[in-house]
Amino acid sequence: MGEMKALVVDDEKNISEILSIVLSEFGFNVKTANSFYEFERLSEEQSFDLALVDLRLPDGNGIDILKEIKEKNPNTEVIIITAFATPDTAVKAMKLGAYDYIQKPFSIPELKLLIRNVKNKIELEKKLKEKEIDEDIELIGKSKVIKNLKETIKKIAPYDINVLITGESGTGKTVIAKLIHRLSPRKEKPFLSINCASIPEELLESELFGHVKGAFTGAVSDKKGLLEIADGGTVFLDEIGEMPLSVQAKLLHFLEERKFRPVGSIEELSVDVRIISATNKDLEKEIEKGRFREDLYYRIAGIVIRVPPLRERREDIPEIAEIFIKEFSKKYNKKIEKIDKSFMAFLSSYEFKGNIRELRNIVEKEVILSEDGVLKCHHCPYSKGVSLSVEIPPEGVDIKKILEEIEKAYILKALELTNGNKTKAAELLGLNLREFRYRLEKYLTPKS
């Protein structure tokens, strides 16, 4: 789950020391600030899981700190430290999102109970977030690239910044957009999406910005656009690289001014919407070709998230495939008792130009075609066989040497694909570990 971080903001040194000691006992990495100024310096550098804040500071007050903390990261829990005579202010702090308050002078057992409770809450919410992320098949796996992707999503989701998701078709860009919304403070508000490639230019503008009655032929009444309907929430612009330049100009105006004009209207509307975009195109190349506005690119790409293709995370393929196997064996009432080694070997080595979408389709077909509880390749893209055109010169060939060279090449390629993991390399080649080791030693042991 990672180390938890706590911040103590109190100008009384002895109180800060006591709080730091107790927090450290509960496993928190503790930073201290003795003023509002010190708090601002520390909070600029990092965010915290927990903050204990004194209501009265020499250069400010704890209510302002509470507001600032919650604005930066709504998930940070805040405990207010209050003098005995100011419980009303502490209650006000609770209404603003504080977890609880503790009055001076406090006892150590009382403090420990409060810290234990808030720590349990923080840990539970972190576990729920991990579970929420792992429910999405596209993000299942233990590869380094997928771990980094999940960490990035968790870091950027709470902050109100526009996000551009890039990646090949079928990698799960829509899933990631929904997840960012789900992990953000906007999660209770609408998440609306539009595919910029599937709607004609004249309709796309109306879908996004709305129109008034009589704006064009067929506009028989006023219609709200997605931006207005999603006020307070998130709008996902899929395949934004296909957006026409005229609509790009209007979107840029909205991102700069937070205002837009429905088609045919003279009035501007103001809404609060976060924009998440996705593309499988190289937008920088599209800019060079004059097909995408550079100024819009920098507005939508506050943060860029690259989703890796399946071939960059091959070690995750068996786990994802097994989930699909369970899904389709249940759907088609097929009892799968055995998965042929060659099937998993094929999945682990195939290029998957359609990524997870293609993997899902392949597994679905093979589950349908499975017989006697065995899942194997019937219609895998490679299973039609390989047609080789060969020539034999008049002097003949050394077939044993040719076959040895082919076998050696496959063994080395399998080791390369599995980063030297012999067990996985053996599976890729449909061999058991003993057979693989025998062949490896045969080719790599120096001949005397």
Summarize pLDDT for 93-144 with one digit per residue, the tens. Answer: 888 888 888 888 888 999 999 999 999 888 877 776 766 666 678 888 888 9
Residue 35 CA to chain centroid, in angstroms? 36
Mean pLDDT of 302-319: 92
Structure tokens at 334: 């097929």
The pLDDT score that the predictor gives to residue 238 is 95
User: Is 208 a member of any domain?
Assistant: yes
Are residues 187 and 296 both part of a single domain?
A: yes
CATH number reported for the structural domain that contains residue 292 in this entry: 3.40.50.300
Same-domain pairing of 168 and 80: no
Do 301 and 319 have their domain in common? no
Mean pLDDT of the residues in the chain: 86
Highest mean pLDDT among 164-168, 368-372, 430-434: 164-168
Q: Give residue 19's pLDDT band: very low, low, confident or very high (50, 70, 90).
A: very high
In a domain, 137, yes or no: no
Q: Which helix (H) or strand (E) holds 147?
A: helix 144-156
12, part of any domain? yes
Give residue 433's pLDDT: 85
State which H helix or E strand residue 399 sits in: helix 399-417
Residues in the chain: 448
pLDDT, tens only, 32-79: 999 888 888 888 878 899 999 998 888 888 888 998 888 888 889 999
Domain count, the chain: 4
pLDDT at site 382 = 54
Task: Give yes or no: residues 358 and 294 share one domain.
Answer: no
What integer pLDDT is reported at residue 134 of this predicted model? 64
Counting residues of the chain whose pLDDT is more than 90, the rounded percentage is 40
pLDDT at 179: 93
Provide the 8-state DSSP code for 6: E
Say if CB 48 and CB 7 are below 8 A apart.
yes
Tell me whether residue 381 is in a domain: no
In terms of residue numbers, what domain contains 439? 399-444
Residues 356-399: tens digit of each pLDDT: 999 999 999 999 988 888 888 877 765 444 444 456 777 777 88
Q: Are residues 157 and 83 in the same domain?
A: no
- DSSP letters, 78-110, are EEEEE-TT-HHHHHHHHHTT-SEEEESS--HHH
388 lies in some domain: no
Q: Indicate if 300 and 324 belong to the same structural domain.
A: no
Say if residue 283 is in the same domain as residue 191. yes
Cβ neighbours for 289, distance < 8 A, ≥ 6 positions apart: none
Do 190 and 153 belong together in one domain?
yes
Residue 411 belongs to some domain of the structure: yes
Place of tokens 């065995």: 374
266 pLDDT higher than 70: yes
- Whether residues 162 and 174 share a domain: the answer is yes
Q: Tell me the per-residue pLDDT of 285-297, one tens digit each, with 9 for 90 and over.
A: 999 999 999 999 9
